[in-house]
Amino acid sequence: MRAVDIGGVAAWVAAIVIGLAFGVASAWGALEFGRASFADSVGQWSYSRAAGSRTADPYTRAIVAREGLLALNAREAQYFSLTRDASGAPLRESCIYELAGDDLAARWWSVTLYASDNFLAQNGDHAEAVDSTRLQGPWRVRVAPVRGEAAYWLSSRAAARGFVLMLRVYNADDGWRPTDSELPRLATVSCAGDAP
């Protein structure tokens, strides 16, 4: 019977564990830090030209899958996300915002509020989205934890700090390219705890 070289086995096990740890860490880093290069921006909104594209590389596809975006073909839908206010601060549940815009050159579009966990805010308000069937011509939507006197409202109650507004544009007119002046603009009205 041959003796087992414990030192050699331990070296192999250590090499495998280190290799696995390095692989997991590099994949996590590529996905986490790759989000910055994933997004282009138009005004306050971020988007990816590769989302829904046949030319998307494996990292882009992994980021899309991780973020939970079920992206249609880029000719069918374009996706824009807004995560920060005009000052660059993450969107907060304790703030009141006003989102203002006009009709977009598309068959249909919507704006949906997702909580910081990328799911709909669990608040029972039934005010998670607005769309082009209700908003025609110039429009304003209050984004806040309570409706107040607003005609249109997206509830941020229970959305926490870092919630996301997602604009989806379906079947945009041929050749439509979003510009800062065409996309809705978000303004901060007030935030709880701010000095008067």
Average pLDDT of the chain? 82
CA separation for the pair 162, 108 (Å, rounded): 27
CA separation for the pair 189, 166 (Å, rounded): 20
For the ranges 67-81, 93-107, 182-196, the maximum mean pLDDT occurs at: 93-107
pLDDT (average), residues 63-78: 63
Write down the H helix ranges in the chain.
6-38, 58-67
User: In which band, very low, low, confident or very high, does the pLDDT at 95 lie, cut at 50, 70 and 90?
Assistant: very high
CA separation for the pair 111, 80 (Å, rounded): 9
For residue 69, what are its two tokens? 């975006």
* Amino acid at position 12, single letter: W
CA separation for the pair 71, 50 (Å, rounded): 10
What pLDDT, on the 0 to 100 scale, is given for residue 175?
79
What pLDDT, on the 0 to 100 scale, is given for residue 69?
55
Angle at 78 (CA atoms; ends 145, 63), nearest 5 degrees? 80
CA separation for the pair 44, 167 (Å, rounded): 12
CA separation for the pair 110, 90 (Å, rounded): 21
pLDDT in tens, 143-160: 999 999 999 999 999 999
What pLDDT, on the 0 to 100 scale, is given for residue 17?
83
pLDDT in tens, 19-35: 887 777 666 665 555 55
Q: Is 49 helix (H, G, I), strand (E, B) or coil?
A: coil
Who wins on pLDDT, 60 or 37? 60
Q: Are 24 and 36 in contact (CB under 8 A)?
A: no
Whole-structure pTM value:
0.73
Please state the CATH superfamily assignment of the domain spanning residues 38-191 in this structure.
Answer: Domain of unknown function DUF1214, C-terminal domain (2.60.120.600)
Q: What are the domain boundaries of the chain?
A: 38-191
Of the candidates 168, 170, 42, 172, the one whose C-alpha atom is nearest the C-alpha of residue 105 is: 172
CA separation for the pair 169, 159 (Å, rounded): 23
